[in-house]
Structure 1
Amino acid sequence: MRFRVTPHDSSFFDILTESAECLVRGSEILVQILNADMADRKTLAGQLHDVENDADACAHKLFRKLNQTFVTPLDRDDLYLLAANMDDCMDYMNEAGDLIVLYKIGELPNRVVAQVNVLQRCAELTAEAAPRLRSMDSLRDYWVEINRLENEADREYRRLLADIFDHEDDPKRIIKLKDISTSLERGVDAFERLANAVETIAVKES
């Protein structure tokens, strides 16, 4: 039988919940960037950078707390993994927003919009699940749905690449669209890695 000392300090979970809320804010701004005209996109990208800075601050806050705490509510490596994976999700969203602005791409294909919609839904599900990390209960629907969304995003990504090469004639635009869609695809993959980490930890803690 395994005995575990479980401290009452909930601040680790508060930080993770705050990080997940940053993901929702970031995804909402990314949607706005898609729908904005060229003149407004730069301002929105600046707002996205601010959210990324907030997310970085949350991650560093958790890492500092890990270094200062002797007994943690979850294994140290697991807490680090959750924070690092959330940070990856934010980084890829920020990267995609940056590329859209820097490449001055104009109107984006519908399949890129579909990728961003999947990212936004992944962020919302993560924020809904984050408070339940305290007990590791009722999380199965979260990781199952994230996995389904990742599969959907994979299909959109492959179809998008096919559409780009079939219908785009400008080599520069092809490269730009491919870079943007790849960043979005990596963002969804990061959400799946986060969900897989939650599943692994939940099984271990059960």
Structure 2
Amino acid sequence: MRFRLTPQDGAFFDLLATSAGHLVRGADLLVRMLGADRTQRVQLAEKLHQVEHDADESTRDFLSRLNQTFVTPFDRDDMHALANGIDDCMDAIDEAGDLMVLYKVGVLPTGVADLVAVLRRCAELTAEAMPRLRSMTDLREYWVEVDRLERRADRAYRRLVADLFDHEEDPITIIKVKGVLDALEEAADAFERLANGVEAIALKES
């Protein structure tokens, strides 16, 4: 059994879990936006902005506590990177929803639902993993699965872009839809970067 010489301040892990919970809320709203009409999308986008604001507050609370704590549960830079990684995921989710509204995108390609479903699952896995950082146990399945999901998202993204270029003749529509797809793909990348960061921390602390 490995003994830790650093304190296990539960507040840090609670704040990380809260931040990750906002990702699930945000991804849920993104799923709902796909099947909504333009008026409903505006309302849902406003709710998504509020979730993003709540996530920012959680990040600030975490970083404030980090800056005021002399000895942290694990490397200070790693903890900072975790908080920023969660924030990056939330920002990308919010951007995708925002662009749906700003660009007044109509019906999105059917395959977009698969891409958003990947983000929803990544958010769930992240929310489940954050509390386990307290003990650094049972985390490998998290980063392995997120890596698999990110590859699935990449394939879906490439297919969607190819189909868009093949079947859409209006260049403005292509620009709008591709902008949304790019934001969704960036969200998947952000989840993978976060999972890779967790893997690096777990290996360092093991």
CA–CA distance in 1 between the matches of 2:109 and 2:21? 28
Unmatched 5+ stretches in structure 2: none
Residue of structure 2 equivalent to 1:159 = 159
* Contact 2:7/2:71, CA 8 A, preserved across alignment: yes
Residue of structure 2 equivalent to 1:95 = 95
Residue of structure 1 equivalent to 2:191 = 191
CA–CA distance in 2 between the matches of 1:100 and 1:120? 17
Aligned positions of 1:110-189 closer than 5 A: 110-189=110-189
* TM-score, normalised via structure 2 length: 0.97
Identity of aligned residues (%): 61
- Opposite residue 35 of structure 1, the aligned amino acid is G
SS at match of 1:110: coil
Aligned positions of 1:78-93 closer than 5 A: 78-93=78-93
Is 1:51 the counterpart of 2:46 in the alignment?
no
Residue of structure 1 equivalent to 2:108 = 108
SS at match of 2:111: helix
Q: Deviations over 1:3-27 (max 9, x none)?
A: 9532132101000000000000000
SS at match of 1:107: coil
Residue of structure 2 equivalent to 1:77 = 77
CA–CA distance in 1 between the matches of 2:97 and 2:145? 25
CA–CA distance in 1 between the matches of 2:145 and 2:110? 22
CA–CA distance in 2 between the matches of 1:45 and 1:156? 24
* TM-score, normalised via structure 1 length: 0.97
SS at match of 2:104: coil
How many residues align structurally? Answer: 205
Q: Deviations over 1:106-152 (max 9, x none)?
A: 11101211111110010011111111010110000000000000000
CA–CA distance in 2 between the matches of 1:53 and 1:82? 18
- Opposite residue 114 of structure 1, the aligned amino acid is D
CA–CA distance in 1 between the matches of 2:20 and 2:194? 11
Unmatched 5+ stretches in structure 1: none
* Contact 2:140/2:199, CA 8 A, preserved across alignment: yes
Aligned positions of 1:17-36 closer than 5 A: 17-36=17-36
Q: Deviations over 1:66-109 (max 9, x none)?
A: 11100100110011000000000000000000000111111110
CA–CA distance in 2 between the matches of 1:54 and 1:123? 16
CA–CA distance in 2 between the matches of 1:146 and 1:60? 26
- Opposite residue 174 of structure 1, the aligned amino acid is I
CA–CA distance in 1 between the matches of 2:12 and 2:129? 15
Q: Deviations over 1:162-203 (max 9, x none)?
A: 000000011000001110000000000000000000000000
